[in-house]
Amino acid sequence: MRILICDGLHPQGLDILRADPDVEVLAPDQPSAELIREILPECDAMVVRSRTKVTADLLENAPRLKVIGRAGTGVDNIQVQAASARGILVMNTPGANAMAAAEHTMALMLALARHVPQATQSMREGRWDKKRFMGTELYQQTLGIVGLGKIGTIVADRALGFKMNVLAHDPHITPETAAILGTEWVELDKLWSRADFITLHTPLTAETRNLINRDTLSKMKKGVRIINCARGGLIDEEALYEAIVSGHVAGAALDVFAKEPPEGSPLLRLPNVIFTPHLGASSTQAQENVSRAIAMQILDYLKRGIIRNAVNFPSMSAREYDRLRPYMRLAEQLGHLHGQLSTPIERVDIEYSGPELQELPLDPLTQSIAKGLLDPILAEKVNLVNAPLLLQERKIQLTATRTTATQGYTGLIRVTVESKGQKKSATGAVFPGNEIRLIRFNTYRLEAELEGINLIVQNKDTPGVIGFIGTTLGTFHINIANMHLSRTPEKDKAVAIIRLDTEAPEEALNALRANPMILSVEQVRL
């Protein structure tokens, strides 16, 4: 496995990757976009920070790429949807650099309040300018935090330590939770109008882009100070420039910029704006944390299939993964069975039941079913990441529900597929020893293994049919490995699921179909 390290990764993470005998690490120093484009087609994984832009165009020529690891938090430099469409997992390391970013925010807030960088510069120039650098205290000032996630929460705690009044706005956090953290949850307009300092801690999304703009700036208090340690795109930089020049905003501290580096930005000329070059995560501890975390996550995924901190797939712990694994195999095989029995698929209804499936996350199972369904149909690479998108593209409706019914099993998955107005259903269970079995096919009860080459033969329940099947297959030199029989409660129809040692040719299937007692013959490869 070849892993390309695009942006600087701390040696601790590199050592973890290099210690693995199955891994070759390519770590060119600050590789250009051209070099990345050249090497990527041969790589199974890539690791980035904020410098490298992972575009749809770049991913087009990355046939081996399975995972993009972001050694950090923000994934706005990665076109996640394009990665998902190609079945590439995108993972980050949430929280691993939150302390660094929060402390940097506090450093910038204090430096901004007391003009530390400007005073340093003036002393370097030989001056002793006490009057010019009169500052403001944080004590009893009001701080408005936009985004009360991992970083926002630490900033709130530190600001409370400075005895600031802390307002917070985060649509995904309740006022009660905000209050537990010692903050007052307010609507954005209130935050703009009441805060003396404003700090941003949201991801950059379509919703948060240009959160601070001419309109919102006009709602802020005169003399407000703004800190941005999240993403440059959260602020309309031109509007901020104007608001600072007009004196409405007293100052700003910026770690991040719409374009990095912000060459030619007029903000760089303003004396009351202070800067750092995207240093929020640049502490030794944070870089150790993110590099170790991403190295281990990538190895876990490439070597063991364990998915953690993926932004385009539900995450699961190693323990959950162990428990889910047989159900994921069962789910995929049920999908695989249906994918070969019904075409075109219009609708898929999934029912999860049994005590074990009450506790485990179900999305990985639903995604496994989707993968199983599409694998036999599509030429392109289908995996757990892109299967749901491919289902959507093909306009296949899917529902998944959880019920408490058990029918004596610890976990059951029932998949019903509708095609051309006809419904087929298959129910599977995990048996002790993690054996997976098909226990119900339409109305037939059975206990068939879900693997290998199988014939599914439906017939009228009359004597001699099974003998005929055996003899016919014998004439084609096809050996039967095992057979599961069942019939309807009315005893008029029966099904045989016959595991074969070798695939039956079309002539053999037609020879079986020629018998009027045989209603249908289908061959599936599981």
Ligand X SMILES: O=C(O)C(=O)COP(=O)(O)O
Ligand Y SMILES: NC(=O)C1=CN([C@@H]2O[C@H](COP(=O)(O)OP(=O)(O)OC[C@H]3O[C@@H](n4cnc5c(N)ncnc54)[C@H](O)[C@@H]3O)[C@@H](O)[C@H]2O)C=CC1
Decide if 42 contacts 64 (C-beta within 8 A): yes
Amino acid residing at 458: Q
Annotated active-site residue 104? The verdict is no
Question: Contacting ligand Y (CB under 6 A), which of 69, 149, 233, 251?
Answer: 149
Residues making contact with ligand X (CB under 6 A): 49-50, 72-74, 97, 278, 280-282
498 near ligand Y, rule: CB under 6 A? no
Could you write out the three-class secondary structure of 348-384?
Answer: EEEEEECCHHHHCCCHHHHHHHHHHHHCCCCCCCCCC
User: Which segment (145-153, 175-183, 448-456, 509-517) binds ligand Y by CB under 6 A?
Assistant: 145-153
168 near ligand Y, rule: CB under 6 A? no
146 near ligand Y, rule: CB under 6 A? yes
Query: How would you classify the pairing of strands 493-500 and 453-460?
Result: antiparallel
Site string for ligand Y, 178-207 (x = CB under 6 A): -----------------------xxxx--x
Q: How far apart are CA 382 and CA 96, in angstroms?
A: 31
**Which tokens in the block code for residue 248?**
């409405």
Q: Which is nearer to ligand X, 74 or 147 (CB)?
A: 74
By CB under 6 A, the residues from 55 to 74 that bind ligand Y are 72-74
Rounded least distance, CB 415 to ligand X, Å: 39
278 near ligand Y, rule: CB under 6 A? yes
Q: In what order do the strands lie in the sheet with 224-228?
A: 184-185, 165-169, 142-146, 197-200, 224-228, 249-254, 273-275
- Residue 493, classed as helix, strand or coil, is strand
Question: Contacting ligand Y (CB under 6 A), which of 13, 87, 147, 388?
Answer: 147
By CB under 6 A, the residues from 253 to 272 that bind ligand Y are 255-256
Q: Output the residue with the shortest Cβ distance to ligand X.
A: 72
Rounded least distance, CB 101 to ligand X, Å: 7
Q: Which is nearer to ligand Y, 195 or 396 (CB)?
A: 195
Q: Which of 260, 320, 418, 447 is catalytic?
A: 260
- 146 contact choice in ligand Y, ligand X, none (CB below 5 to 8 Å, kind-dependent): ligand Y
- 236 contact choice in ligand Y, ligand X, none (CB below 5 to 8 Å, kind-dependent): none
**Which tokens in the block code for residue 125?**
């120039």
Q: How far apart are CA 107 and CA 127, in angstroms?
A: 24
Q: Which is nearer to ligand Y, 276 or 425 (CB)?
A: 276
Rounded least distance, CB 97 to ligand Y, Å: 5
Q: How far apart are CA 227 and CA 273, in angstroms?
A: 10
Site string for ligand Y, 90-129 (x = CB under 6 A): -------xx--x----------------------------
Q: Which is nearer to ligand Y, 98 or 497 (CB)?
A: 98
How distant, in Å, are the alpha carbons of 122, 173, 191, 227, 344 from that of 186? Answer: 40, 11, 6, 19, 51
Q: Which is nearer to ligand Y, 276 or 515 (CB)?
A: 276
* Bridge partner list, 253: 227, 274
Q: Which of 104, 158, 194, 278 is catalytic?
A: 278
Q: Which of 70, 169, 194, 231 is catalytic?
A: 231
Rounded least distance, CB 481 to ligand X, Å: 54
Tell me the HSE value of 52 on the side-chain side, using a 13 A CA sphere.
Answer: 30
Q: How far apart are CA 191 and CA 187, in angstroms?
A: 6
Question: Contacting ligand Y (CB under 6 A), which of 10, 70, 115, 150?
Answer: 150
CB crowding 159-184: b at 16 or more within 10 Å, else e: beebebbbbbbbeebeeeebeebebb
**Which tokens in the block code for residue 384?**
């757990």
158 near ligand Y, rule: CB under 6 A? no
By CB under 6 A, the residues from 407 to 436 that bind ligand Y are none
- 49 contact choice in ligand Y, ligand X, none (CB below 5 to 8 Å, kind-dependent): ligand X
Q: How far apart are CA 138 and CA 165, in angstroms?
A: 9
Annotated active-site residue 231? The verdict is yes
In degrees and rounded to multiples of 5, residue 54 shows phi and psi of -100, 100
Within 8 A by CB and 6+ apart from 111, the residues are 117, 253, 274
- 52 contact choice in ligand X, ligand Y, none (CB below 5 to 8 Å, kind-dependent): none
Decide if 59 contacts 81 (C-beta within 8 A): no
Rounded least distance, CB 362 to ligand Y, Å: 23
Rounded least distance, CB 281 to ligand X, Å: 4
Q: How far apart are CA 164 and CA 158, in angstroms?
A: 9
Amino acid residing at 60: E
Annotated active-site residue 18? The verdict is no
- 103 contact choice in ligand Y, ligand X, none (CB below 5 to 8 Å, kind-dependent): none
Q: Mind telling me the catalytic residues?
A: 231, 260, 278
Binding site for ligand Y (CB under 6 A): 72-74, 97-98, 101, 146-152, 169-173, 201-204, 207-208, 229-231, 255-256, 278, 280-281
